Amino acid sequence: MSRLMIPALAALLVAGATGASADTVGADWMPIGQVIQKAEAAGYTLISEIEADDGHWEGQGMKDGRPMKFTADPRTGAILSEKPGK
């Protein structure tokens, strides 16, 4: 498991423990570890949060030295949209 995966998985577990309003992961969804790999391949680093929400994966990380938020296709892990984050 990569060092970048650990914070993302920890954030997911914390979100679930605190009752965040994330959706349920579908049976045909790509596993979170593979989604993180796809995001890294798309240029993301330091992925700090990723969760199921509104029928897709949503995450945060750094891209090109800037904090960004992204959404990913639940079945392929392809980045669907991205915008500046905090």
- The CATH number given to whatever domain includes residue 10 is 3.10.450
Element containing residue 57 per DSSP (H, E)? strand 56-63
Please tell me the pTM assigned to this model: 0.72
Q: State the total domains in the chain.
A: 1
Range of the domain at 45: 5-84
Q: What is the pLDDT of residues 17-76, one digit of tens each?
A: 444 556 889 889 999 999 999 999 999 999 989 999 999 999 999 999 999 999 999 999
pLDDT for 86 equals 79
pLDDT for 43 equals 97
pLDDT for 18 equals 41
Residues 6+ apart with CB under 8 A from 27: none
pLDDT for 85 equals 85
pLDDT for 52 equals 94
